[in-house]
Structure 1
Amino acid sequence: MARRKLVVLGLLGTTLDAGHGNKRWERWRPTVALTQHEDLLVDRLELLHGKDSAALADTVVADIGRVSPETAVVRHAVEFKDPWDFEHVYGRLHDFARAYPFNPDKEDYLVHITTGTHVAQICLFLLTESRYLPARLLQTSPAHRRDPNEPRSARDGRDPRDGRDARDTNAKSSARLGPGTYAIIDLDLSKYDRLASRFQKEKDLGQSFLKSGIDTKNAAFNELIERIERVAVASRAPILLTGPTGAGKSKLARRIFELKKARRQITGEFAEVNCATLRGDAAMSTLFGHTKGAFTGAVADRPGLLRKAHRGVLFLDEIGELGSDEQAMLLRAIEEKVFYPLGSDRETSSDFQLIAGTNRNLLARSDTARAPTGYEFRDDLFARINLWTFRLPALHERSEDIPPNLDFELEKASRDLGVNITMNREATERFLRFASKWTWPGNFRDFNASVTRMATLSDGGRITEDIVAAEIEHLRARAQPPPPSGPRAGELTARILGAERAARLDRFDRVQLEDVLSVCERARSLSDAGRELFANSRTERTSVNDSDRLRKYLARFAIDFASLKDDIHR
């Protein structure tokens, strides 16, 4: 197996690396010395220095060429206006790390932290710990002076790591320094709890990234995103995202990929497909690829999405729609990283991380659940992808997050339309009152479409209350009419009380209230609703006041009949 290349990144030491004439060889110079170790073969040195140190860099590069001709030196101009300004130095080194083309699959990286100011050394440490620099730390130090008469290599009459000709009389008569010692430090923050706390800000940035920068208020959702961020950074195991259509599974999958990419944890691409669109040979070909002639129309080889996702992320949305053959091949590809392209008798491999999405209950469709024919989902595949399962809530379950999401959608509409889109106060209040109680059956897809329509129809980019009113009527007209009788699985209760408050009700109260609200919805008055609800008991009472009885029942839930009718028909 070929040796992986070793690459060292380090700053030129303007003091430690300095020296002139032959006497410079009597000094320990850390950048030159790190290439003199017989057991540390540096294939490439990435040397960072400022313009004022160009002449010193020339000398150091030339000396490295003498002591270690196998080491290629690449110079980078990195200027520090104030080398003691922590924010400035970190920013410059962070920019370098973000732009550098790391290839951790083929190269190992060390970050030399012996040179540079203390501020620069701390910044290099932080960038390495946070994986912006996918490396280990390298610390070097001088050794005691060596006896000039000690044995050294007779090859070409020169010590191969000393830099001077053995026949140089000046060299023979002077005490010489060796390369010193070095230590490689592999950071493991699990040992340093206090140090780990310094990177809470980095963790918060990762969570904000997964939320597209939206300042969400729902505590349960924020806790969910925090857990997803921890898993995404720490694990390459499959992730299963569940939840209703439009809850944001596809967007979150891509953000997980981008977060891992930014942390240098993956180097490959993001490949995605909605499995509901795959059928027959096309499903096999799309996922696993095919060879030329594998089926009618296969005029050329096709690599497939699993190969595209090599060392990256494969997102299979609606994974429950995959056929049984595709499920079996996918299971083997997850566990063994190998599979057969369609029409081929030769295995191919792909090392990918799977993120799967579904709006169905896969457990209820597994083999063990005896699902109807055509709807089975393999229980062994389900067990394999069920290690990390996260359910994304529907929009109506996060009513407190509607205001920040409205701001996000308005900013997005402004970018898309090239106009600054705003809403006046009255329009904003009316839309938020409606949006916080609307069920949004398509979740964020419906919400985005609603804001886009209002933004497009706005005059000069200003959304008025009239535009909001028209949009509300449009949404109501598109909603499916309610059934003639019977509760609707808590829909009205959630709209009137809000999803979070409705969820806190006992099941008995929720079912009963839902039926009462459905009667109130179609009744013309409080009295009409009361007569229908208490029709049977009316015949057994001498005095009836159905409207007062209903009013008191609604008051238990802080519901007023007049406001209820406004909310239902708004």
Structure 2
Amino acid sequence: MKTILILEDDVIFSRSIGNWLKKKGMATEHATTLSAARKALSAREFDLVLADLRLPDGNSTSLLEWMNERFYATPFLIMTNYGQVENAVEAMQLGAANYLCKPVQPDKLLEAIGKIFSRSRNDGSEFYRGESAKAREMYRLVGLVARSDISVLIWGASGTGKEHIARELHEQSHRRNKPFVPVDCGTITGDLAKSEFFGHRKGTFTGAYGDRCGLFQTADRGTLFLDEIGNLSPETQMLLLRALQERRYKPVGSTREYAFDVRLVAATNENLERAISEGRFREDLFHRLNEFTINVPPLSECGEDILPLAEFFMKHFSEKHRKPIRGFNSLAAVSLQKYPWPGNIRELKNCIQRAVLLSADGWISLEELNLDLTVGREETASLSEEEKEKRLLLKTLEEAEGNRARTARMLGISRTSLYEKLKKYRII
């Protein structure tokens, strides 16, 4: 979910815009002064800053200058009165994405935000599209089905990037300027499921201090992404099925029913057909969700994507942590390709972030990656980096059938360097 920092000293207007954006599937935080905004930006990352031009302690252009000095890449959208357009143009020269004249029209605001998010999505800053054969086939299927409204079930092991595929489906659909609302089904408990999906009215139960929008209302005309759908309880599955059959829902405590228009995308890492045979998942709900299936391959089956993806994460974390990294040394690059990546893309991402933080000379080495290239992890947990390097050499030499010239090419090092390492470890 995108998070927007709203910088506006008119509290009523700020809350009004914030509530409207929440209904469109976005999260918001609020600040009324430049100093409060600087504090918020220092504490966490935002997807967008929506700022009034004039504030009690100065112009928001000074905040933009402050962000530029610290290499913050957060998009900046200015709100201004007609008489201050010149200042807004100055803000755009400093890097602001756009400006809107007050009074801000909600539809115009949503359109501007949508364009900003679309640009940031397509400039390569948020994800890497795989080029391996299996990745290309997966994206081909995404392109085929994205423009329709049929329900899609995404299947893949944990960490393969199922939410990314769901977002791709949304971004390529006619609903792309409407909300994309992800929900972890493991967090939806039986007692609160109805309120979570359909909302509730004030005073319906203890703790219901106000009306609340449910997921179906929040995602209206957009995409509702149900992650790990197999975690839903049987009772919640029945609630969801009934709503999908009738295309209507009733908030808890309300006497009125509401129609909804959402595109449903679900994801799972388990075999739902087996869950059906074991009585843990409803077959009728499965067929509602599974009008089209997209399988996300494990990273180990997309070998061509491993190094480009690692380099993508390296650049991302190098910028994020303001730590210049030039690349991977040859042994590190080989180890990235030989490691089986049981945790898939998520494990690779975490591994690269750690390596970027540990790198001392601008290059990522085998030591910083700290990958165990053997099958038995427990057996080698205490191995030194030298022992791991030795095992990598032996494994590559075996794959090259003892051919040292080929071994050197596979490792990306010179034959002289290979001979030195073989001597070092007494392999020759």
Identify whether the pair has TM-score above 0.5, normalized to the shorter chain.
yes
Return the offset for 1:271. 1.1
Match of 2:158 among 229, 245, 248: 245
1:377-396 deviation per Cα after TM superposition (whole angstroms, max 9, x unaligned): 11001011111111101111
Q: Which aligned pairs between 1:355-370 and structure 2 lie closer than 5 A?
A: 355-366=265-276, 369-370=277-278
What does residue 136 of structure 2 align with?
Answer: 222
> Does the 8 A contact of 1:454 with 1:463 survive in 2?
no
What does residue 449 of structure 1 align with?
Answer: 350
* Letter of the structure 2 residue corresponding to residue 226 of structure 1: R
Return the offset for 1:478. 12
Larger mean CA deviation between 211-220 and 289-298 belongs to 211-220
Distance in 1 between residues matched to 2:126 and 2:137, nearest whole Å: 16
User: CA 1:211–1:314 in structure 2 vs 1: closer, same or farther (change >3 Å)?
Assistant: farther
What does residue 277 of structure 1 align with?
Answer: 187
Match of 1:439 among 329, 340, 350: 340
* Letter of the structure 2 residue corresponding to residue 345 of structure 1: T
* Letter of the structure 2 residue corresponding to residue 370 of structure 1: E
Distance in 2 between residues matched to 1:294 and 1:325, nearest whole Å: 20
Distance in 1 between residues matched to 2:194 and 2:124, nearest whole Å: 31
Q: Which aligned pairs between 1:192-231 and structure 2 lie closer than 5 A?
A: 214=128, 216-231=130-145
Return the offset for 1:558. 7.1
Distance in 1 between residues matched to 2:161 and 2:301, nearest whole Å: 14
Distance in 2 between residues matched to 1:410 and 1:294, nearest whole Å: 50
Distance in 1 between residues matched to 2:193 and 2:106, nearest whole Å: 35
Q: Is residue 317 of structure 2 the alignment partner of residue 416 of structure 1?
A: no
Distance in 1 between residues matched to 2:256 and 2:308, nearest whole Å: 52
Return the offset for 1:211. 11
Distance in 1 between residues matched to 2:299 and 2:237, nearest whole Å: 31
Q: Which aligned pairs between 1:497-536 and structure 2 lie closer than 5 A?
A: none
> Does the 8 A contact of 1:423 with 1:464 survive in 2?
yes
User: CA 1:299–1:412 in structure 2 vs 1: closer, same or farther (change >3 Å)?
Assistant: same
User: CA 1:343–1:385 in structure 2 vs 1: closer, same or farther (change >3 Å)?
Assistant: same
1:333-376 deviation per Cα after TM superposition (whole angstroms, max 9, x unaligned): 3333211223333212221111111101111111xx133xxxx1
> Does the 8 A contact of 1:413 with 1:421 survive in 2?
no
* Letter of the structure 2 residue corresponding to residue 312 of structure 1: G
Distance in 2 between residues matched to 1:209 and 1:313, nearest whole Å: 23
> Does the 8 A contact of 2:156 with 2:269 survive in 1?
yes
Distance in 1 between residues matched to 2:159 and 2:176, nearest whole Å: 27
> Does the 8 A contact of 2:133 with 2:302 survive in 1?
no
Q: Is residue 385 of structure 2 the alignment partner of residue 471 of structure 1?
A: no
> Does the 8 A contact of 1:440 with 1:446 survive in 2?
yes
Return the offset for 1:311. 0.3
Counterpart of 1:444 in 2: which secondary structure? Answer: helix
Distance in 1 between residues matched to 2:347 and 2:188, nearest whole Å: 25
Return the offset for 1:313. 0.7
Q: How many residues are paired up?
A: 278
* Letter of the structure 2 residue corresponding to residue 323 of structure 1: S
User: CA 1:411–1:340 in structure 2 vs 1: closer, same or farther (change >3 Å)?
Assistant: same
1:426-457 deviation per Cα after TM superposition (whole angstroms, max 9, x unaligned): x2x22232222222222111101111111112
Distance in 1 between residues matched to 2:222 and 2:239, nearest whole Å: 19
> Does the 8 A contact of 1:396 with 1:437 survive in 2?
no
Return the offset for 1:267. 4.2
* Letter of the structure 1 residue corresponding to residue 169 of structure 2: I
> Does the 8 A contact of 1:307 with 1:349 survive in 2?
no
> Does the 8 A contact of 1:289 with 1:302 survive in 2?
yes
> Does the 8 A contact of 1:250 with 1:317 survive in 2?
yes
Q: Is residue 149 of structure 2 the alignment partner of residue 236 of structure 1?
A: yes
> Does the 8 A contact of 1:238 with 1:354 survive in 2?
yes
Return the offset for 1:479. 7.7
> Does the 8 A contact of 1:246 with 1:442 survive in 2?
yes
Match of 1:326 among 230, 236, 239: 236
Distance in 2 between residues matched to 1:267 and 1:333, nearest whole Å: 24
Return the offset for 1:215. 5.7
User: CA 1:455–1:341 in structure 2 vs 1: closer, same or farther (change >3 Å)?
Assistant: same
User: CA 1:293–1:480 in structure 2 vs 1: closer, same or farther (change >3 Å)?
Assistant: farther
Distance in 1 between residues matched to 2:359 and 2:160, nearest whole Å: 27
* Letter of the structure 2 residue corresponding to residue 236 of structure 1: D
* Letter of the structure 2 residue corresponding to residue 396 of structure 1: S
Distance in 2 between residues matched to 1:327 and 1:404, nearest whole Å: 40
Tell me the TM-score normalized by structure 2.
0.57
Match of 1:312 among 222, 240, 243: 222
Counterpart of 1:284 in 2: which secondary structure? Answer: helix
What does residue 389 of structure 1 align with?
Answer: 293
Return the offset for 1:309. 0.2
> Does the 8 A contact of 1:236 with 1:353 survive in 2?
yes
Tell me the TM-score normalized by structure 1.
0.44
Return the offset for 1:282. 2.4
* Letter of the structure 1 residue corresponding to residue 297 of structure 2: P
Distance in 2 between residues matched to 1:212 and 1:228, nearest whole Å: 18
Match of 2:283 among 379, 400, 412: 379
Question: Could you say what the CA RMSD is over the residues aligned between the two structures, in angstroms?
Answer: 3.7
* Letter of the structure 2 residue corresponding to residue 422 of structure 1: R
Distance in 2 between residues matched to 1:300 and 1:266, nearest whole Å: 30
1:441-483 deviation per Cα after TM superposition (whole angstroms, max 9, x unaligned): 22111101111111112236x1243xx324325x57998537x
* Letter of the structure 1 residue corresponding to residue 363 of structure 2: I
Return the offset for 1:210. 10
Distance in 2 between residues matched to 1:478 and 1:274, nearest whole Å: 32
What does residue 154 of structure 1 align with?
Answer: none
> Does the 8 A contact of 2:275 with 2:281 survive in 1?
yes
What does residue 255 of structure 2 align with?
Answer: 345
Distance in 2 between residues matched to 1:223 and 1:208, nearest whole Å: 20
Distance in 2 between residues matched to 1:340 and 1:220, nearest whole Å: 42
Return the offset for 1:216. 3.0
User: CA 1:478–1:273 in structure 2 vs 1: closer, same or farther (change >3 Å)?
Assistant: farther
> Does the 8 A contact of 1:313 with 1:353 survive in 2?
yes
Counterpart of 2:293 in 1: which secondary structure? Answer: strand
> Does the 8 A contact of 1:410 with 1:421 survive in 2?
yes
User: CA 1:210–1:288 in structure 2 vs 1: closer, same or farther (change >3 Å)?
Assistant: farther
* Letter of the structure 2 residue corresponding to residue 255 of structure 1: E
- Structure 1: runs of 5 or more not aligned: 1-94, 96-100, 104-131, 133-204, 483-520, 526-554
Distance in 2 between residues matched to 1:210 and 1:254, nearest whole Å: 15
Percent of pairs identical after alignment?
33
Counterpart of 2:182 in 1: which secondary structure? Answer: strand
> Does the 8 A contact of 1:214 with 1:405 survive in 2?
yes
User: CA 1:361–1:472 in structure 2 vs 1: closer, same or farther (change >3 Å)?
Assistant: same
* Letter of the structure 2 residue corresponding to residue 251 of structure 1: H
